Structure 1
Amino acid sequence: MLEVRNVVGGYGEIQILHGVNLTVHRGEVVGLLGANGVGKTTLLRVISGLIRPSGGQVLYQGQDLVGISPARLLRMGIAHVPQGRHIFSDMTVKENLLVALDRVRDRVNAGERLEYALNLFPRLRERYHQLGGTLSGGEQQMLAIARALAPKPDLLMLDEPSMGLAPVIVESVFKTIRQIAEDGTTILLVEQNATAALHVVDRVYVMETGAIVHESERLDDSELQRIKEVYLGLGES
């Protein structure tokens, strides 16, 4: 579904990515793990059209995405929830979702998409007429994900959805991420919280200094622990 081939890029003359290769198959939840500053967010920005790579290809269902605008990528079925919970703080939950529904590819089913998002995140239904800026951090993350789901994407990219959230909220958000995948959306998940991420992904890549250094398809307990110890420096947990 998504294939990143030898991608090189960064910001101006500063190269962050050094020949990144990554594949996401339809129906998977793929984790991209690594410490802060290794290039995970930069890679998502390349895939979503926010940064043009200086080399390599980004293929989505066989089509090269390089040079395609983020708006068009959204219409093609690619949604990106960036780090930092990008919502409209001066709009209500309802208004935030209605703005997102303007981008629904199938307008006939817009109401169904709204109900789907609210059923995934019942807390948003409770806060439906509350301003986005007054929501808790966890509720804002729920709203950001719900907004991304409104256009019914085929591929959902999440950048650090656990950042700044209490452990109990992280557990709830990741449980919902797994549900979204089971409902048919393919997910590329960028995370520093390996403990949370490794229990919801089907495969995992580990990134260091702008390159993929490990890929694993066998995620039993021993492999999870090995990834945390060898690549993420987390040790016993």
Structure 2
Amino acid sequence: MIGTQFDLTPLKEPLGFIKILEWVFAIFAFGTSGGYTGDAVVNLACNDSSSNATLEFTFSYPFRLNEIPLYKGGILCNKSVNATYLIGDYSSSVEFFVSIGVLAFLYSMVALVIYVGFLHIYRESNRGPVADFIITCLFAFFWLVSSSAWAQGLQNIVYVTSTEGICYSFKFCASDAKCTVVSHASMGRLNVSVVFGFLNLILWAGNAWFAYKETSWHTSSTGTTAQPGS
């Protein structure tokens, strides 16, 4: 039968209800990582006590820190210092994470429309359930990979913007001055994005079971294992 048959019943079942959670959690995942901006302040005290200086830098999504100037060049502690940049380009991990979040959001929305309006078409053959099951498994795998990569990338970002990381990036701090990060950028929002990434992994992995139950594979396996009574 072709045509829309609007029915909210699938949303009360695990298959549809989990899709709603996946839709919402995907928004939180890419929304908390994309568009981030952080500021940090570094206090620089010269070893010869000649003067002190304050360095400020701002970094943001997609975290190409090697393009962020820590010091634009000039005179520090009565010495000429060249321009210095932060270390590392972590755009690949966070952009992959955000891309998976956006794709998961779009697929969840499409799947919900099919469940609510076209469930009779979805279940009339095995192609729809099988495709849904395979795509769900792929998203579970991609959430695992992207969340792990972004968690590692975030760990590196925290290090590079810390006092130890600044001293490693700015060699002047090791020889002619003492550098201390006195105002750290808040990473709470980025930590939340990693948490939502792994929550999405759990949701999609769990939903794979309910998607599998819609396929003929599950029906045939339960039918073959059932034994008639004596």
Say yes or no: TM over 0.5. Answer: no
TM-score (norm 2): 0.25
Larger Rg: 2
TM-score (norm 1): 0.24
Q: Which structure shows the higher strand fraction?
A: 1
